[in-house]
Amino acid sequence: MGMSQSYGAADRGESLATLDRALELGITFWDTSDVYGDGHNEELVGESLRGRRDAVQLATKFSLSRDGEGRMRIDGSPENVRARCEASLRRLGVDTIDLYYQHRVDPTVPVEDTVGAMAELVQAGKVRYLGLSEASAESVRRAAAVHPITALQSEWSLWTRDLETSGVAAAAREHGIGLVPFSPLGRGFLTGAITSPDDFADDDFRKDHPRFRGEAFAANLRLVDAVRSMAEDKGVTAGQLALAWVMAQGADVVPIPGTKRVAYLEENAAAGDVELTADDLARLEQIAPPGVAEGGRYPNAGYSYGDSPAPGSDR
């Protein structure tokens, strides 16, 4: 995502070099969406994968788009599912998407209708597996009753533990659905690299996030200091400790940290070798219990943990 939007400018050459290096390091579960850079990210990933498509498990998403004024729209209608999938296949330059997510549940379309249309894509061979992102527990259960759901992608990290406290992770596990934590580095904050709201470029969307503003920022910095101090004791970086914690949440948890730089990628990949003892996990639980972060995850409430109307409801 960061190669195409959200976290300031990206250098195209460095982005492509980062993707090359990911393959060399054996990082083969790649995540994109049609909304990242309004198609830019899928084209970039497609370019990188030309001639070596089978090297990765390729995940993309649909249902979000920006209107003319840059506001986010959600469309889970069956006709949009079909149209968006064709457009993603074309931009990625592939015949099949390995994992196709509904990026956000549409509050106006029964999730059964959306997942029903996604299931037809599986039958047509355009998609292999289905996923949801930021869905509520109820949406997860209703979707899984229509077609097997393979993955649930939602924010999960040391400072965002709503997935545990909301019962969504438990609902996913009831159905054998794998968990894919996004923003596992707390959008970069948990690495300790961001020390002031002034660190953000003008086009960086974290400027508008409640957690990165004013007093909340200062309070959250104390959490990062504690993570960094523990990381020093263990001889790892704060980011590696944050990633190791997410990976320690279960064998069914596969985080997808994002970066547009080779050096960060290499540091993050090495987190796979960090082992946490029961004492380490207890210390992290004290440092970062559920609800520890000051401020909401998004500027706009209601953007996540999506529910939809009952089947058969009018749109």
Ligand X SMILES: NC(=O)c1ccc[n+]([C@@H]2O[C@H](COP(=O)([O-])OP(=O)(O)OC[C@H]3O[C@@H](n4cnc5c(N)ncnc54)[C@H](OP(=O)(O)O)[C@@H]3O)[C@@H](O)[C@H]2O)c1
Radius of gyration of the chain (CA): 19
Stretch that binds ligand X, among 82-90, 209-217, 253-261, 277-285 (CB under 6 A): 253-261
Q: Which is nearer to ligand X, 18 or 80 (CB)?
A: 18
- Amino acid identity at 293: A
| Interacting span for ligand X (CB under 6 A) from 91-99, 184-192, 244-252, 280-288 | 184-192
In the chain, the amino acid numbered 262 is V
Could you tell me if 143 and 132 are in contact, meaning their C-beta atoms sit under 8 angstroms apart?
yes
- For residue 115, give the nearest of 97, 101, 134 by alpha carbon: 101
37 binds ligand X (CB under 6 A): no
Q: Which CB atom, from 107 or from 311, has the smaller least distance to ligand X?
A: 107
Question: What is the rounded CA–CA span in Å between residue 212 and residue 235?
Answer: 27
Nearer to ligand X, 20 or 311 (CB): 20
| 182 belongs to the binding site for ligand X (CB under 6 A) | yes
Between CA 294 and CA 289 the distance in angstroms is: 12
Check binding of 1 to ligand X (CB under 6 A).
yes
Interface size with ligand X, residues (CB under 6 A): 27
Q: How far is the CB of 254 from ligand X (least distance, A)?
A: 11
Q: Which two tokens stand for residue 24?
A: 């060399």
Residue ranges in 99-118 that form contacts with ligand X under rule CB under 6 A: 103
| 43 backbone φψ class: left, alpha, beta (φ>0; ψ -120 to 50) | alpha
Q: Which residues 125-164 are close enough to bind ligand X by CB under 6 A?
A: 133-134, 153
7 is catalytic: no
CA distance 259 to 187: 10
From 82-90, 168-176, 177-185, 276-284, give the range in contact with ligand X by CB under 6 A: 177-185
The verdict on 264 binding ligand X (CB under 6 A) reads yes
Q: Which amino acid is at 48?
A: S
Per CB under 6 A, does 257 bind ligand X? yes
Is the backbone of residue 136 left (phi > 0), alpha (psi -120 to 50) or beta? beta
Q: Which two tokens stand for residue 289?
A: 């219990």
Residue 200 binding ligand X, by CB under 6 A: no
Catalytic residue numbers? Answer: 36
Where along the sequence are the contacts to ligand X (CB under 6 A)?
Answer: 1-2, 7, 31, 103, 133-134, 153, 182-188, 191, 193, 239, 256-261, 264, 267-268
